[in-house]
Amino acid sequence: MNKTYNPNKADWFELLKRPTQTLENIENTVNEIFNDVQRQGDKAILKYTEMFDGVKLEGMIVSSEEIENASNSVSEELKQAIQFAKQNIETFHIAQKTKRVSVETSKGIDCWQEKRPIQKVGLYIPGGTAPLFSTVLMLTVPANIAGCKEIVLCSPPNKEGKIANEILYTAQLCGVTKIIKVGGIQAIAGLTFGTETLPQVYKIFGPGNQYVTVAKQLATKYGVAIDMPAGPSELLVVADDTANASYVASDLLSQAEHGADSQVILVSTSRQLMDAVSSEVEKQIKLLPRIEMSQKAIDNSKLIYVENHDIALDMINEYAPEHFIICTENEDFYVDNIANAGSVFIGNYTPESAGDYASGTNHTLPTNGFSKAYSGVNLDSFTKSITFQKITKEGILNIGNTIELMAEAEGLQAHKNAVTLRLKDLISEKSGTSNLKIK
């Protein structure tokens, strides 16, 4: 593991760089596939599925028979675990519901805001080296609580043209309306444009590799919203002498095994702990079945020593981690002052794995520093806020002159006239004259 001691602030940017590919190369590929899918629909999607996933599909929609067979193949023990996690995730997301916000801003002027579900959403569930059925829970549960009518799930097929049994079981458990065997850039393109098989959606959710992340960003160019830029997973742990080195190492490895492009960082005020964590990582990684992939991520990992917690906090806020674990004596210092993080895990007994699976919080989070401006997926991600207003005669009399003055100052005469006409009618009504007499 790469150790750095007391780095200068001027060097933080280079030190904390994510291990990503050149964006231009990715964008060219994504643009090419998007254009192809827009022109040729299903034909293009099937072509790229064969090219990238190594399977020639007869059809892309998962049948009810496939779902039933998959569900029967999942052990009862795992089903119970999934249902327990689902219950916790539902509890946390139901608690996020808000009532209508209503206020009389001035006499006769009522304004209110109500939430409405996004009608059609597309959920991207990564397959690849680890079929993330937990992500199905994280996306479908809030979508259903919000009241989304059409929930379309896309996930890449394996060499046999199938989606993992656990993904299919969880999808049907959570009320997905359509499951499609498509992954990668072509899935995002299909959800963006709509094809003979894939419906066009209003918003796309879900994590993915760098190609999927860029594809989602390109989708916004065509009027489709996305949850956030969510690429390769990352974790930053801050720890001092009170931390358990074995636990910290296990947390770093839990993120490293996501993929070779995952990034894990330890920031510590203790040189001794850093050395102990490094030794624990070397010991624990040898026992992992995904050792080769984990080792590539660990080779790019950082162990950074800083002299005090103030410096550590500044560095962490600059990095803006997706996952942030606090293992320090004064944990409140970080809890109270962290400004940029996707999700925070506090104390020696709060592993990041809990948030990935079953504690109740959502694990679809902003990466690559985007937690400086983006939130992780939550109930509001699946809704829109619509504002309403109703103005009475008294209300328009109270506010009318203000609108007229402002509209005239901006040179928007039609805006002013829309108020002036109403005011004239009300004034004439008060004086007993009709609108026809007003010139």
* pLDDT tens per residue, range 68-108: 999 999 999 999 999 999 999 999 999 999 999 999 999 99
DSSP line for 407-432: HHHTT-HHHHHHHHHHHHHHHHHHHT
Average pLDDT, the chain: 94
In the predicted structure, residue 23 carries a pLDDT above the cut 90: no
Superfamily of domain 232-363: Nitrogenase molybdenum iron protein domain (3.40.50.1980)
Which pLDDT does position 129 carry in this prediction? 66
pLDDT band for position 209 (cuts 50, 70, 90): confident
258 has binding-site annotation: yes
209 has binding-site annotation: yes
23-230 matches 392-437 in fold: no
255 has binding-site annotation: yes
124 has binding-site annotation: yes
From 323, 331, 352, 363, the catalytic residue = 323
**What class does CATH assign to 392-437?**
mainly alpha
DSSP state of 102: E
Domain extent listing, the chain: 23-230, 232-363, 392-437
322 is catalytic: yes
Tokens of 41: 């629909």
Which pLDDT does position 128 carry in this prediction? 66
pLDDT tens-digit series, residues 117-145: 999 999 999 986 678 899 999 999 999 99
Task: Give the residue carrying structure tokens 């209503």.
Answer: 102
The CA-to-CA distance between both ends of the chain, in Å, stands at 84
DSSP state of 61: B
How far is Cα 396 from Cα 380, in angstroms, rounded to an integer? 33
Burial of 318 (0-12, 13-18, 19+ CB in 10 A): middle
Which pLDDT does position 21 carry in this prediction? 56
Q: Which among 163, 205, 171, 175 is positioned nearest to 188, based on CA atoms?
A: 205
How far is Cα 50 from Cα 46, in angstroms, rounded to an integer? 6
309 is catalytic: no
Residues in the chain: 439
Q: Which among 299, 298, 311, 297 is positioned nearest to 240, based on CA atoms?
A: 311
pLDDT band for position 310 (cuts 50, 70, 90): very high
413 has binding-site annotation: no
From 166, 322, 331, 352, the catalytic residue = 322
Query: 23-230 maps to which CATH number?
Result: 3.40.50.1980
Residue 154 has φ and ψ, to the nearest 5°, of -115, 135
186 has binding-site annotation: yes
Q: How many CA atoms lie within 13 A of 368 on its CB side?
A: 16
64 has binding-site annotation: no
363 has binding-site annotation: no
pTM, to two decimals: 0.92
